[in-house]
Amino acid sequence: DAGITQSPRYKITETGRQVTLMCHQTWSHSYMFWYRQDLGHGLRLIYYSAAADITDKGEVPDGYVVSRSKTENFPLTLESATRSQTSVYFCASKRAGGGRETQYFGPGTRLLVL
Amino acid sequence: AQTVTQSQPEMSVQEAETVTLSCTYDTSENNYYLFWYKQPPSRQMILVIRQEAYKQQNATENRFSVNFQKAAKSFSLKISDSQLGDTAMYFCAFMDLVFIIQGAQKLVFGQGTRLTINP
């Protein structure tokens, strides 16, 4: 199906484990983003990417790693999960072209770190 | 740094009523975009409406309209003839057009307002 998908939708892991959240979009959008959503904070940007092999930190990057070897995929890795990383994670994408272009969000991944 | 503030954590109205959600923002930039996103219980983030700061006219999308007051840095969302399906979290978001290293034009979100439409 066309659009932006995330997997898994739900994940439970333990402190110290490595976890990778997947994001895939079928539109060939240049930009992709990872946000986390926590109570009282709205959505905060973790990392973003302007194109394949170009990534940069957002507001809360510590403890996360991203890569973008292909335009359509933007995985987010928690190298050593901590309880404070329990959150809902959203991936988003948008076309190049300035602020007129809307960010499209995936359905989210709910992560629980025990 | 830009900030977005939604001062109403929760609101509740009866079906068919009109409701207004508040949003204020802080920026020194002159060119930017403002957005309202809806997040229903499914958790999907859905764009409701968008306003370009250089446009005087308030944006409208069917039952949704905004009151954009640039000098006051206020961007409220009005929902007319509210429906049960409007029940959701609503997020106000800001994007400035100042290009950073790769020109990503990042969104800054408010904390959200939980809106409940009662039958």
pLDDT tens across A48-65, in order?
A: 998 889 898 988 999 999
Residue of B nearest to A105 (CA): B45
pLDDT number for residue B102: 47
Size of interface A-B (CB pairs under 8 A): 61
Distance from the Cα of A38 to chain B's closest Cα (Å) equals 9
Residues A54, B102: C-beta atoms closer than 8 Å: yes
Mean pLDDT of chain B: 90
Q: Which CATH number fits domain A4-113: 3.40.190.10, 1.10.20.10, 2.60.40.10, 3.30.70.20?
A: 2.60.40.10
Query: CB contact, 8 Å: B1 with chain A?
Result: no
Chain B positions in Cβ-Cβ contact with residue A44 (cut-off 8 Å):
109
Q: Give the residue-averaged pLDDT of B90-99.
A: 82
Chain A residues touching residue B91 (CB < 8 angstroms): 42-43
Q: Coil, helix or strand for A91?
A: strand
Q: Of A35, A93, A101, A37, nearest to A68 (Cα)?
A: A93
Of A80, A87, A78, A86, which Cα lies nearest the Cα of A15? A80
Q: Has residue A24 got a pLDDT over 80?
A: yes
Of the residues A43, A90, A91, A111, the best mutation for testing chain B's interface (the one with the most B CB atoms within 10 Å of its CB) is A43
Residues in chain A: 114
Q: How much is the average pLDDT of A89-106? A: 83
Spatial separation of the C-alpha atoms in residues B101 and A65, rounded to whole Å: 19
Q: Round to whole Å and give the CA distance between B91 and B95.
A: 13
A4-7: strand order across its sheet = A4-7, A19-25, A76-78, A64-66
Q: Is the pLDDT of residue A97 over 60?
A: yes
- CATH 2.40.50.140 assigned to domain B3-118? The reply is no
Residue B27 predicted with pLDDT over 60:
yes
Domain map of chain B by residue range? 3-118
What is the residue whose two structure tokens read 């954590």?
Answer: B9
| Residue of A10, A36, A37, A90 to mutate, interface with B, max B Cβ within 10 Å | A37
CA distance B26 to B117: 30
Cβ distance A100 to B33 less than 8 Å, yes or no, reads: yes
- Cβ–Cβ gap B111/A33 under 8 Å: no
* Greater model confidence, B56 or B111: B111
Q: What are the distances in angstroms from CA A66 to CA A20, A71, A91, A109? A: 9, 13, 12, 16
Residue B31's pLDDT is 83
